[in-house]
Amino acid sequence: MTSVVKRIEPRTSRAQNLLEDQVGNEFTSSQQYLAMAVWFDQRDLPRLAAYFYSRASAKRDHAMKIVRYMMDNNIAVEIPAVPTVRNDFGDPRELVALAVEHEAEVTGEFTTLSQTAREEGDYLAEQFLLWFLHEQVEAASRMSSLLNVIDRSQGNMFDVETFLAREDLARS
């Protein structure tokens, strides 16, 4: 019996290179959200901590989904190093405002990736990326809502915790 060796193709397009960059971006996002979750956890805000732990897990899953797509398409994958993330925040609003900005950046990254795939005629990648664009709309909306609730709470984090418990955002 002859063994079949799967041939891994080097990345040959800008879209493929951007996919690998996005793997790093998603792992970095995961680490940043983990740092945010720990910040909330250390301040006895369990619902906010759970929400950000959930976001960290989702971002890791996104990275792995891209890795799996690349491997399924025989595209070479290298897992990049993750840069240092921010761990100090002055108050909860500052942290969530950073997350809102971050979600906008990630949406831009996926939009660029999708545009590039389309320009290169990579219809499989374009179709694959639609899921991420949909996820980003939801993630950005939820994070903006959370920031609005924090602003309306006027510093009363128990109101924010109650909102999160009622809306059960940690499960989305």
Tell me the binding residues for Fe cation: 26, 62, 103, 136
Which residue from 51, 29, 55, 28 is spatially nearest to 40, judged by alpha carbons?
51
- Cβ burial of 10 (10 Å; 0-12, 13-18, 19+) is exposed
Q: Give binding residues as ranges.
A: 26, 62, 103, 136
CB burial readout 24-53, b (16+ within 10 A) else e: bbbbbbbbbbbbbbebbeeeebebbbbbbb
Cβ count near 97 (within 10 Å): 16
117 contacts 129 by C-beta, under 8 angstroms: yes
The number of residues in the chain equals 172
At residue 9, the 3 state secondary structure works out as: strand
- Quote the CA–CA distance of 59 and 69 in Å, as a whole number: 15
The amino acid at residue 121 is G
